[in-house]
Amino acid sequence: MKRNIALEVAFDGTAYCGWQRQKEQRTIQGELEAAVIRLTGENSSVHGAGRTDAGVHALAMTAAFFTEGNIPADGILRGLNSILPDDIVVIRAIDAGADFHPRKSAVGKVYAYRLSFAFPALPTERLYCWQMSVKPDIEAMQTCMARLVGRHDFSSFEASGSRDPRAEGRGAVRTIFTAGLAPSGDDGVIIRVSGDGFLRHMVRNIVGTLIEAGRGRMSAEEFAAVMAAKDRAAAGPTAPARGLFLEKVFYKF
């Protein structure tokens, strides 16, 4: 019987065209599958908990692959890390149940978005945050974020023309569990959002719209109206990919 190996994978997305395997492009999934083939000799697919855009990072993306081999899970962890490039690290490997699937079994995800207001912007931070020269109004952003929590149709924050065909009939309705903002260093904040699922570009479009509010261009009522409009054109611009981190994917035990 095949073993189902579940992985948690951290990566620096800077050098990659996102998660999903693409011909003649470097992707996280592509690198992982190449490493699994080298380690096990088996041509396995590595499935992830979802896609990430080019330039987006992860502290813990969940992925899984099947193997007929008998390398113990901690040997798989060490073996993959010895093959993978420096910017992709397997942080956990375990034998999962046969019916575990990183995407279908997921019950929630946490994303973090880092903003930095250091001026001038520090070059050693440029790949891991959105650097802006003027600090937005944090309280105004927090007031808007409270409106995100709960079960809503998030069409306004979905990349246009991009509905995932695997969305299983939920349409654009998702439940946001928590939406908060915490200071990060002297000149930055981290926006952290958890929910049962996220549409394409959803977090980046939320952040871009919150920044509009933080710059005094949108009130909390207008933010609520953006959500109610169910229209991408009502929301703000898409925040840059480099500030976004997939922090964790949650599963039932």
Residue ranges binding a copy of itself (CB under 8 A): 10-12, 57, 59, 81, 86-91, 120-124, 126-128, 245
Q: Which of 213, 212, 202, 204 is nearest to 239 (CA)?
A: 204
In whole angstroms, the minimum distance from the beta carbon of 168 to a copy of itself comes to 31
Q: Which of 74, 3, 11, 5 is nearest to 245 (CA)?
A: 11
Q: How far is the C-alpha of 177 from the C-alpha of 181, rounded, in Å?
A: 14
Q: How far is the C-alpha of 149 from the C-alpha of 137, rounded, in Å?
A: 20
Q: How far is the C-alpha of 212 from the C-alpha of 46, rounded, in Å?
A: 38
Among residues 125 and 222, whose Cβ is nearest to a copy of itself? 125
Among residues 89 and 167, whose Cβ is nearest to a copy of itself? 89
Among residues 22 and 81, whose Cβ is nearest to a copy of itself? 81
Among residues 121 and 173, whose Cβ is nearest to a copy of itself? 121
DSSP letter string over 149-214?
SEEEE-GGGSPTT---TTSTT-TTEEEEEEEEEEE-SSSEEEEEEEES---TTHHHHHHHHHHHHH
User: In sequence order, which ranges of 55-187 are alpha helices (DSSP H)?
Assistant: 73-83, 138-146
In whole angstroms, the minimum distance from the beta carbon of 242 to a copy of itself comes to 10
Q: How far is the C-alpha of 169 from the C-alpha of 209, rounded, in Å?
A: 26
Among residues 4 and 81, whose Cβ is nearest to a copy of itself? 81
In whole angstroms, the minimum distance from the beta carbon of 88 to a copy of itself comes to 6
The total number of residues shown for the chain amounts to 253
Q: How far is the C-alpha of 3 from the C-alpha of 12, rounded, in Å?
A: 28
In whole angstroms, the minimum distance from the beta carbon of 24 to a copy of itself comes to 23
Among residues 168 and 186, whose Cβ is nearest to a copy of itself? 186
In whole angstroms, the minimum distance from the beta carbon of 14 to a copy of itself comes to 9
Has 95 been annotated as catalytic? no
In whole angstroms, the minimum distance from the beta carbon of 87 to a copy of itself comes to 5
Query: Within a 10 A sphere around the Cβ of 129, how many other Cβ atoms?
Result: 25
Q: Which candidate in 53, 95, 164, 231 is catalytic?
A: 53
Catalytic residues, by residue number, are 53
